[in-house]
Structure 1
Amino acid sequence: MMGEFSRQVTPLNRTITEPLTTGGQIEYEDFPCTIDVTGPLLYTLFQERWQETQIGHVVEGSVLELEFTQPPKICILYDGYLTVVTEAWHLHLCLEEHLGGPLAKTPPELRQQRLIHRASLYRRLNERGEARSWGIQFWNGSGEKMMNLFLPNPFVGEDEDLLPEGKPQLEKLSLYQELRETYILGTRPIPFDQNPLKRPYLAVCRSSRCYPSRNWQPIIEALQEAIKQAELDVYVMTSGCLEVCKLGPVVFYSSDRTWYTRVTPDIAKQIVQDHVQQGHKIESHLYPLIQHSP
C-alpha cells in the first residue's frame, strides 16, 4: 500500500565530484529517486516549465539535444514508464518497476536494471571552479547514464550563441535554484498536494494491431460521459498498444493497474460506476481472467 504523499523532500546530503578529462570537474548533488520525488519534478519540467527544459543524452562521441516548441500532448505514467509525447518526438523513462504488461513478463533483474537508481542535479565547472552548465542526470540499475536534462544556461543567448564576456543573464538560474531548494536542500516544498503523475486515468487502446479496437470511439465517449456524470477527477484518453492484443476494445485503469477486454459502451459505463467509484472490478472482462478455485 502506498504511503501518503509528502511535499517535503528529505535531503540525501550526498555530493560527488568527478574530474573531467578536458579540465575542470562535474559536481553531482544526489536527490531521492522515488516516484513521489521524480514524478513532481519531471511533471514540473515537462508540463509547466517546458520552455526552459531540454532533453539530452550524452556519451563520448555523441550528443543528442531535443527541445519543446509547445507543451507535450501526453505526459503519462504507464506500467512504470513515463511517456512524454510531442508533435515531433517522444520519450520513455522508467520511474517505477516495469512489470511487463498485464502478464508481468519482465524478469525481476531486468526491472531493476531499467529503473532509475540514482538521480542528481549537476553543475559543470571549468578549470577555475566556475560553473558553466547546469542539468539533471539519471542512472539505471546497472550504473549506466540514462537521459539527462539541460537547464537554462545564463551564458547562452536565445539563439544558442554565447553572450558577451561578463554579461551573463543570471536570472536564467532561477529554475536550477528552485529545483535545488526543493529536491536537494528540502527548504522549499514540492509545488503539488499530490503526485501529478499518479492522477488516475482510463486509457482506451486505438492500436490497429487489434482489429476490434479500431472501433474505440464509442468506448471513449461512454467513459467520458460516465466520468462527467459521476463528477470524478479521472482523465480519459486514447493510447497505443496496451499489450492485450486481439481482445479489443481494451481499457486500462491506472489507479490499480487493471486491464479490461471486449469492452462495450455499456461495460465502459459499468467500469466507471462499479470499479472506479466503488472499487468492484468487472470480473467477466478482466485480463488476465481471475481463476477461481473449484
Structure 2
Amino acid sequence: MSQFKPWVKPLNQTAIEPTGNGWQIEYDFFDCQGDVLACLAYTLFQDNWHQIGLGHLEQGSVLELEFHQAPKKCVLYDGYLTVIAQDWHFHLCIEETLGGPDSETPPELRQQRLINKGAFYRRINPEGNPRSWGIQFWNGAGDKVMTIFLPNPYIEEENLLPDGKANFDKLELYNELREIYLLGIKPLPFTKNPFKCSYIAVCTSGRCYPSRKWQPTFDALKVAVEKAELDIEVRTAGCLQVCKLGPVAFYSDDRTWYTRVNSNVAKTIVNEHLVKGNKVIEHCYPPKSV
C-alpha cells in the first residue's frame, strides 16, 4: 500500500475548449490519482453535498442533479464510489475495479472505466467573463463521465440575479478546492484516504432470495464485533457479486468474500478471522483449499 501524501503536486496543464457563439471552457487539470481523487470525492459528496450539483454536460444534452439532504451512503467497493441520495444514486470508478471475487474485469476495461483525468473549469462568455464554475472528470477512454457544478455567484436558487448583484462570496468553495487540489498551496484535509476504513459488509440485494435473509447475519456480526471491541464498521451493501450464495459478507482489509453466512457463521468469522487472522475456509469465495 502506497504511503498517503498530504500535498498535491500541481500539474500546470491547461486547455481551452470552444463551445460556439464565442463561448469557451477553460480547463485547469489536476492530479486525480489514488488518494487525491478519493479526498476530493469525499470533500464534495460527504462534506459539501449541500453546495454542489452533479450530472453530465455535453452539446445537446444536460443532466443536473442536486442533493436535498446528506447522502444516505457514501462508500467505496471494488473501485467504485457509490453515493446514495434520497431518490437516486450514482457510481463512479475512482480506483481500479477488479470485477468482484473472480476478478472478471479485463485489464484494458479496468483502465477505460477508471477516472484518469480531472480539471477545474470556468465557462467564459464572449466578453471574456467567467459565468459558471465546476469540475470535470474523464475516464481512461477519454470520455466525459461526470460534471460537478459548483456554486454560481450569478444564480440564486434557480434564478439569475440582476446585473451588478452577483454574490461572489459563493466562489469560496471553488477557490478553496483549487488551492488544495490544483495549486497545492494547502494540504489535503485528511491524514489518510477517507474511504479506506476497515469494515465488514453484508449483502442486502433483493436480486437473489438467500440475501433477503441478511438481517440476522448483520445483527450477529455487529454484536460479535462490539463484543470483541474491534475498530471495524459493520455495514450493509448492495450486490457483492456472489449471487445465489447468500447471505454474503465481504471483509475489506484483505478482500475476503464469505458465502452462506448465517448467525453462527458470522460469529465464527469475527472470532477467527477478524480477531485471530484465520480465515473460515469452508465459507470463503472463491472456494479455497485447506
Q: TM-score range by the shorter chain?
A: over 0.9
Aligned to 2:148: 149
Distance 2:242 2:257 in 1: 8
TM-score, scaled relative to structure 2: 0.95
Instruction: State whether structure 2 residue 262 is matched by structure 1 residue 264.
Output: yes
Contact 2:18 2:24 in 1 (8 A): yes
Aligned to 1:7: 6
Per-residue displacement from partner, 1:215-245 (whole Å, max 9, x unpaired)? Answer: 2111111111122223333222222221111
Offset, 1:21? 1.7
Aligned to 1:213: 211
Distance 1:76 1:138 in 2: 19
Distance 2:231 2:31 in 1: 28
- The alignment partner of 1:197 has SS state of coil
Offset, 1:264? 2.2
Residues 8-157 of structure 1 mapped to structure 2, 5 A cutoff: 8-157=7-156
Distance 1:133 1:278 in 2: 54
Offset, 1:65? 0.2
Residue type of the partner of 2:66?
A: E
Distance 1:30 1:278 in 2: 45
Among 179, 202, 205, the residue aligned to 1:204: 202
Residue type of the partner of 2:181?
A: Y
Distance 2:23 2:213 in 1: 58
- The alignment partner of 2:36 has SS state of helix
Among 236, 239, 255, the residue aligned to 2:237: 239
Offset, 1:172? 0.5
Residue type of the partner of 1:106?
A: T
Per-residue displacement from partner, 1:190-214 (whole Å, max 9, x unpaired)? Answer: 1111111112221111223332222
- The alignment partner of 1:255 has SS state of coil
Contact 2:281 2:289 in 1 (8 A): no
Residues 160-179 of structure 1 mapped to structure 2, 5 A cutoff: 160-179=158-177
Bigger Cα displacement from structure 2, 248-257 vs 144-153: 248-257
Instruction: State whether structure 2 residue 181 is matched by structure 1 residue 180.
Output: no
Amino-acid identity (%):
59
* Gap regions ≥5 residues in structure 2: none
Offset, 1:114? 0.8
The number of residues matched between the two structures is: 290
Distance 1:22 1:291 in 2: 66
Distance 1:68 1:246 in 2: 34
Aligned in 2, Cα 1:168/1:251: closer, same or farther, shift over 3 Å? same
Among 245, 254, 266, the residue aligned to 2:252: 254
Aligned in 2, Cα 1:29/1:232: closer, same or farther, shift over 3 Å? farther
Offset, 1:50? 0.6
Aligned to 1:189: 187
Per-residue displacement from partner, 1:37-71 (whole Å, max 9, x unpaired)? Answer: 11111111111111101011012111000000001
Residue type of the partner of 2:140?
A: G
Distance 2:255 2:89 in 1: 23
Offset, 1:96? 1.2
Distance 1:75 1:110 in 2: 24
Residue type of the partner of 1:83?
A: T
Aligned to 2:279: 281
Q: Give the ranges of 4+ consecutive aligned residues of structure 1 lying more than 6 Å apart after TM superposition.
A: none
- The alignment partner of 2:50 has SS state of helix
Residue type of the partner of 2:9?
A: T
- The alignment partner of 1:272 has SS state of helix
Distance 1:243 1:185 in 2: 40
Distance 1:141 1:162 in 2: 36
TM-score, scaled relative to structure 1: 0.94
Distance 1:22 1:140 in 2: 28
Residue type of the partner of 1:259?
A: W
Offset, 1:129? 2.0
Offset, 1:4? 1.6
Offset, 1:27? 1.2
Offset, 1:256? 2.3
